């Protein structure tokens, strides 16, 4: 099952170290970091977040279709 994570660069709740730890236990993790955003990038940059979601779906779709 594909797993994607979109993090805000300035997130103080889920720091980048958490993404690194998750990637270590979940090979193939898709990660996108949104520059200048905090914990809620979907609020601070809704268009950028939507584009990130589209990129993840495009990345994951071939795997889901099998």
Q: Is the dihedral of CA 16, 19, 23, 29 positive or negative?
A: negative
Number of independent structural domains in the chain: 1
Range of the domain at 35: 4-65
Residues 6+ apart with CB under 8 A from 14: 7, 39
Specify the pLDDT at position 13.
Answer: 95
Residues 6+ apart with CB under 8 A from 47: none
Rounded to the nearest 10 degrees, how much is the dihedral formed by the CA atoms of 30, 35, 36, 39? 0
Specify the pLDDT at position 62.
Answer: 78
Specify the pLDDT at position 37.
Answer: 97
pTM of the model: 0.83
pLDDT one-digit tens code per residue, 21-66? 998 999 889 999 999 999 999 999 999 999 999 999 998 987 666 5
């Amino acid at each position: 099952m594909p797993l994607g994570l979109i993090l805000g660069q300035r997130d103080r709740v889920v720091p980048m170290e958490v993404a690194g730890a998750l990637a270590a236990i979940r090979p193939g993790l898709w990660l996108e970091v949104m520059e200048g955003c905090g914990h809620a990038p979907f609020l601070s940059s809704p268009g950028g977040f939507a584009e990130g979601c589209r990129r993840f779906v495009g990345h994951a779709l071939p795997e889901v279709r099998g």
